[in-house]
Amino acid sequence: MVPDSRAVKKTSGKRKLAVWKFASCDGCQLSLLDCEDELLALAGEMEIAYFMEASSHQVEGPYDLSLVEGSITTARDKRRIQQVRAQSRVLVTIGACATAGGIQALRNFSDVEEFTSVVYAHPEYIATLKTSTPVSAHVAVDFELQGCPINKHQLLEVISAFLHRRPPQVPAHSVCVECKIRGNVCVWVADGIPCMGPVTHAGCGALCPGYSRGCYGCYGPKENTNTASLCHWWKKELGADQATIVENLRNYNAAAPVFARESRRQERPDGEK
């Protein structure tokens, strides 16, 4: 995908960056902090106006670029994301939680009240929505950077692209493309291991197949996915059972529509009908 690179007005002075957290593990924000060598350069180009993970120093909005981590799981967050959007000229979501609902979207497939009643001594104190949803289900998002966690080089690429008004080079093709470019031997074809690579968005550099493991889809769906055909082959030729199939679809990107639809279909008693 080459996203809409709508012109960003050049304001005087440094542009303001804000980093927001919703329901998430902080791993994607850490990817930003992990950009050790580039952090100074980033601070040179942008005013880091709001980034609670890194500093309690806060500058008021509006912000030129907001990076949003985390999914929407509470009524309060539902309101808060509206406020974030209203203060942000460009809003980029980062990570599986913000782009697809995250691992916590497993609740979308069950009854969350049942969970809270079992887990908490006083479930009445828990105020949570029945679902975990991506930011794009609530407000307009300018660019989604997938991955659990995101790749820090891709994050820098997205920020650089924003600063210099060009489309980010974040290809939306399969992990297989990266896998072949690396010269990996395909674990699916050579070892019969179920691999999510053909339906998963590139970005990790085909990490898991590089260690002779199947991809489990942590970068979420690629463009133009065909999960039905993938699952059919897993079952028919690789002998994968229903649990393996559903578990692979229901990971960090369980609620991504193409994964969710297929995992529901796989769970139906009539299977792939």
| Interacting residues with ligand SF4 (CB under 6 A) | 175-176, 179-180, 184, 186-188, 195, 197-198, 200, 204, 206-209, 215-219
| Site for another protein contains 13 (CB under 8 A) | no
Which among 176, 219, 174, 163 has a CA at the least distance from the CA of 10?
163
Give, as ranges, the residues between 199 and 228 that touch another protein (CB under 8 A).
199, 212, 223-226
Tell me the helix, strand and coil percentages in the chain, rounded to 5. Answer: 45, 15, 45
Q: How many helices (H) and strands (E) does the chain have?
A: 12, 5
Least Å distance, CB 174 to ligand SF4, is 7
Place of tokens 């539902």: 78
Least Å distance, CB 14 to another protein, is 12
Q: Of 163, 207, 247, 265, which one interacts with another protein (CB under 8 A)?
A: 163
149: DSSP letter: S
Looking at the Cβ atoms of 102 and 209, the one nearer to ligand SF4 is 209
Tokens of 127: 């105020």
Cβ atoms of 199 and 227 within 8 Å: the answer is yes
Least Å distance, CB 171 to ligand SF4, is 13
Is residue 272 helix, strand or coil? coil
Residue 219 binds which entry of ligand SF4, another protein, none, CB below 5-8 Å type-dependent: ligand SF4
Looking at the Cβ atoms of 135 and 218, the one nearer to ligand SF4 is 218
Specify the pairing of strand 15-21 against strand 46-51.
parallel
Looking at the Cβ atoms of 35 and 186, the one nearer to ligand SF4 is 186
Give, as ranges, the residues between 21 and 60 that touch another protein (CB under 8 A).
38, 41-42, 44-45
- The residue sitting closest to ligand SF4, measured at its beta carbon, is 197
Least Å distance, CB 192 to ligand SF4, is 11
Which among 155, 237, 169, 226 has a CA at the least distance from the CA of 197?
226
Place of tokens 């500058």: 59
CA dihedral angle for residue 190, residue 191, residue 192, residue 198, rounded to 10 degrees: -60
Contacting residues toward another protein, per CB under 8 A: 1-2, 38, 41-42, 44-45, 156-157, 159-161, 163-164, 166, 169, 171-174, 176-177, 180-186, 188-192, 195, 197-199, 212, 223-226, 229-230, 232-233, 237
